[in-house]
Amino acid sequence: MTATIGDQVPPARQLRGVFALLDVAVGSHARAMALLAAIALLAFVPGFFQLPPVDRDEARFAQASKQMLESGDFIDIRFQGETRYKKPVGIYWLQAAVVGAAETVGLPQARTTIWLYRIPSLLGAIGAVVLTYWTALAFVPRRAAVLAALMLAASLLLGVEARLAKTDAMLLASVVAVMGALARVYLGAHGAYGSRFHGWRLAAIFWVALACGILLKGPLILLMAGLTIAALAIVDRSLAWIRILRPLSGLCLVLVITLPWFAAILWRSGPAFLTDSLGRDLLAKVVSGQEAHGAPPGTYLLLFWITFWPAAPLAALAAPAVWRARREIGARFLLAWLVPSWIVFELVVTKLPHYVLPLYPAVAILIAAVMHQNALASSRWMMSLTSSWFIVSSTIALVLIIAPIAIGRHLELLAWPFAGAAAVFGLLAWWLFAADGAVRSLLRATAAALLLWTAAYGIAFPALPTLFPSVLIAERVKQTECPGAQLASAGYGEPSLVFLSGTKTLLTDGPGAADFLRQGGCRFAVISARQLSAFAQRAEATGVRYSLVQRFDGVNFSAGRAVSLSLYRGEPR
């Protein structure tokens, strides 16, 4: 970005004052990274330990990792008896390693402690924030790089992924490492990276991070890196700079890291792995709305204003300056990272919010570059977008007050001070934007976000047990002090129930649950209201005796509906 882009919004004296404070706070790279890691922890830790297993993806990943530990088989990936070949093995290895280490040091019930499985996601999210700072340093000074990383750390989408035991936070860290190395190679080859250029070191980072991304989520990282390189080659009409990455040696390194597991799983499963991962998962998502997640093009653009909140309004204000600077080498690389992949994701029929998460660091760096040049748009209607800082924060604050009353029928008073303070910071960020400038407003909006995440994830959600029926059921079965208890579930088949109650939990229908209780021993059955009649008829026909332990009324938010469940215990004949 050049220093002549756009119009000045806040007075230069105020801007220098804020940047001077940032310079004191991040006087060295080590201090800057430590500060970012600390802020990321403040953003991600609330709720990290308190939230129960979340259906469905998190519980599926955690259960598959748990089964690796139970079976000692670290090649195959299974959820109960079914193969789970949609994603490669990387995240399962990381989760199993953390839980195995916890068992080694004697942590009780480590295999059913969900936050242990979330540790790779937490580390990946923190790593992505720090790596965004490192990547941004190729384009902007230290203080602007810190702002870019703060935008990512406070974003709603990364906050969600940091708390879920799945692939996306670790994949984000891999992608940012790949793009940070690629950016330095590209800028260095064009004389824009100075004496800090070390081709062999950057090549090693690029290929190792690429291999890690492949083991985490297959070809997705190849798509984003490949589209970036292809876009730059088309614009520059040259690909000579790619030789700095040592492609032949790099590809050999990638094969050394990834090929052993892929060869082992193909030997074990035959064509099943390729059929499931490429055919039923990847290609199916391209041509159809898999698992009812289909949406038209433009969906990600609409979701962006929420998922990248609180920095999203600044993206609109920065867009005119980015467009004017599109031919500059730095903007050219960042747009090549962002635009082609975004278009592909918009065209893919299946859409989930986290698919575009690896593109958000590019957006953050572009915004930070424009803010550093004091070049945000100053038109009144565009600046009105900053009202979302108050609107979103106050709306979430109201929801955190109303939702516990509507769902849990009680008041969650502890969340109110945090939610109220968030609304105040959001109001100040919007109201004082013109007077104090974008940097101060961004910092206030970031404070609002951190307070909201504390109120929502750390206080409100864990205090609503009806949102997590599986926890209530598993705890009630344990309270019976029935040794070797076995559980069947009819009409409620959420993966979290399997994770909490054991791999042998039987997911069946009403008649199947009655047959399960008939086998005798310490057996329980969870029956949904829809399966209750079929269960009772089968039990009566086969002479099964049972007694009601407890009824549960809750909300299955993964299915988007209320549930009514009854827990029965089989009785001896």
Determine the 3-state secondary structure of 207 from DSSP: helix
In degrees and rounded to multiples of 5, residue 306 shows phi and psi of -100, -45
For residue 56, whether the previous peptide bond is cis, meaning omega lies within 30 degrees of 0, is: yes
Rounded Cα–Cα distance for residues 343 and 297 (Å): 9
Stronger pLDDT, 95 or 28, i.e. the higher one: 95
Give the pLDDT confidence score for residue 240 in this predicted structure. Answer: 93
Give the pLDDT confidence score for residue 410 in this predicted structure. Answer: 67
For residue 310, whether the previous peptide bond is cis, meaning omega lies within 30 degrees of 0, is: yes
Give the pLDDT confidence score for residue 8 in this predicted structure. Answer: 40
Rounded Cα–Cα distance for residues 466 and 463 (Å): 9
Residues 2-22 have a mean pLDDT of: 48
How confident is residue 403, by pLDDT bands cut at 50, 70 and 90? confident
What are the extents of the domains in the chain? 12-372, 380-463, 466-571
How confident is residue 290, by pLDDT bands cut at 50, 70 and 90? low
DSSP 25-72: HTSSHHHHHHHHHHHHHHHHSTTTTTS-PPTTHHHHHHHHHHHHHHH-
* CATH assignment of 466-571, among 1.10.10, 3.40.190, 1.10.3210, 1.20.950: 3.40.190
Among candidates 163, 170, 281, which has minimal Cα distance to 215?
170
**Residue range 63-87, pLDDT digits in tens:** 999 999 999 999 999 999 999 988 8
How confident is residue 411, by pLDDT bands cut at 50, 70 and 90? low
Among candidates 498, 421, 406, 500, which has minimal Cα distance to 453?
421
Residue 392 CA: distances (Å) to CA of 36, 386, 426: 24, 10, 8
Give yes or no for residue 292 having a pLDDT over 60.
no
Among candidates 385, 353, 314, which has minimal Cα distance to 157?
353
How confident is residue 283, by pLDDT bands cut at 50, 70 and 90? low
Type and span of the H or E element at 167: none
- pTM, two decimal places: 0.94
How confident is residue 246, by pLDDT bands cut at 50, 70 and 90? very high
Rounded Cα–Cα distance for residues 170 and 264 (Å): 23
Q: Residues 357, 244: contact at Cβ < 8 Å?
A: no
Stronger pLDDT, 169 or 378, i.e. the higher one: 169
Share of the chain above pLDDT 70, in %: 91
What average pLDDT does the structure give for the chain?
A: 91
How confident is residue 288, by pLDDT bands cut at 50, 70 and 90? low
Give yes or no for residue 17 having a pLDDT over 70.
no
Rounded Cα–Cα distance for residues 250 and 14 (Å): 47
